[in-house]
Amino acid sequence: MSQRISLTRYLVEQQRMEGHIPSQLRLLLEVVARACKSISQAVNKGALGGVLGTAGSENVQGEVQKKLDIIANEVLIEANEWGGHLAAMASEEMDGIYVVPNRYPQGEYLLLFDPLDGSSNIDVNVSIGTIFSVLKKPEGDSGVEESDFLQAGNQQVAAGYCVYGPQTTLVLTVGDGVAMFTLDREQGSFVLTEENMRLPEDTQEFAINMSNMRHWDTPVKRYIDECLQGKEGPRGKDFNMRWIASMVADVHRILTRGGVFMYPWDKREPEKAGKLRLMYEANPMSWLIEQAGGAATNGKQRILDIQPTKLHERVSVILGSKNEVERVTRYHSPL
């Protein structure tokens, strides 16, 4: 049987042949992967590890924190702070940025993450995951501050996620396509299981929380209504619906077989652009989807072109199979 390629070998070859990955970025990605392995172990223990349930606190978003949210956040901080590859980190679970302590060397990268996306699924044993995005610290003074993180998604140098499901799979891009690695628990290492992932430009599957239908804006209502009319309607084909309530799991399905994922603005909290966060959910997922031949907009513009103004900024998300995303976006800007 041909020797499977480990994540380490893949990254070394990307560094050596493609020049896409400077050594510090390779180290960063290997450290994040190791942290995801540790999180996977904790998630897999479930009740046996006493890690289920809530932590009795709220995060910066005002959401109840699960014990595993905090564990995953701590694992990522502790794994990354000493390596000398990072200047600072930002997390859904922390109000401000985490600057690498002076006792460690500072690097040139900024790491952003949602340490455990889909927390509402933890206690019911449904797939959850870690989402991460890597930016370069702007040139200039030695310090680092929150404003250094406020870069558009098109500035990312690496992005990825790890799904903790029936398999633990790490999916990442450094701008040269999308690669998937599956955790081989016998070896304790991630092994390349798919390279150059591509999603079909068309689909018959949409992902949205239908219970919010009455709150959606007209273009979204029109798109979903046309899908629900099936082959007798204007689309001329039947559609299927999936909603896992873990963006990581929904996006992984879409990367694997196509589909369109939508968490649009709705009138429940009209002052918010959407539920999902731009910097560490929408941006990394949008880059992965685009690198695999898909598209990602907020209904009006390409998500990766949005200039953030706040670290925990929210955004409306429409991403997946190119032709469907373009259709929904077109409905938002009638001629």
Query: Is there binding between residue 256 and ligand P6P (CB under 6 A)?
Result: no
Query: Least separation, in Å, of the C-beta of 189 and ligand P6P?
Result: 27
Query: Is there binding between residue 246 and ligand P6P (CB under 6 A)?
Result: yes
Q: What is the dihedral of CA 111, 112, 117, 123, to 10 degrees?
A: 70
Query: Is there binding between residue 117 and ligand P6P (CB under 6 A)?
Result: yes
Binding segment (CB under 6 A) for ligand P6P, from list 20-28, 113-121, 168-176, 183-191: 113-121
User: In 3D, which of 323, 281, 325 has the Cα closest to residue 306?
Assistant: 281
The residue number whose beta carbon is nearest to ligand P6P equals: 247
Q: Which is nearer to ligand P6P, 65 or 246 (CB)?
A: 246
DSSP states along 285-323:
HHHHHHHTT-EEESSSSBGGG---SSTT-EE-EEEESHH
Query: Is there binding between residue 120 and ligand P6P (CB under 6 A)?
Result: yes
Gyration radius of the chain's alpha carbons: 19
Q: Which residues are CB-contacts of 217 (< 8 A; sequence separation ≥ 6)?
A: 264, 265, 266, 267, 299, 332
Query: Least separation, in Å, of the C-beta of 21 and ligand P6P?
Result: 28
Per the CB < 8 A criterion, the answer to whether 24 and 107 are in contact is yes
Query: Least separation, in Å, of the C-beta of 249 and ligand P6P?
Result: 8
DSSP states along 110-146:
EEEEEEEETGGGGGGT--EEEEEEEEEPPSSSS---G
x/- track of binding to ligand P6P for residues 181-220 (CB under 6 A)? ----------------------------x-----------
Query: Is there binding between residue 43 and ligand P6P (CB under 6 A)?
Result: no
**Interacting residue ranges for ligand P6P, rule: CB under 6 A:** 117-120, 209, 245-247, 263, 275-276
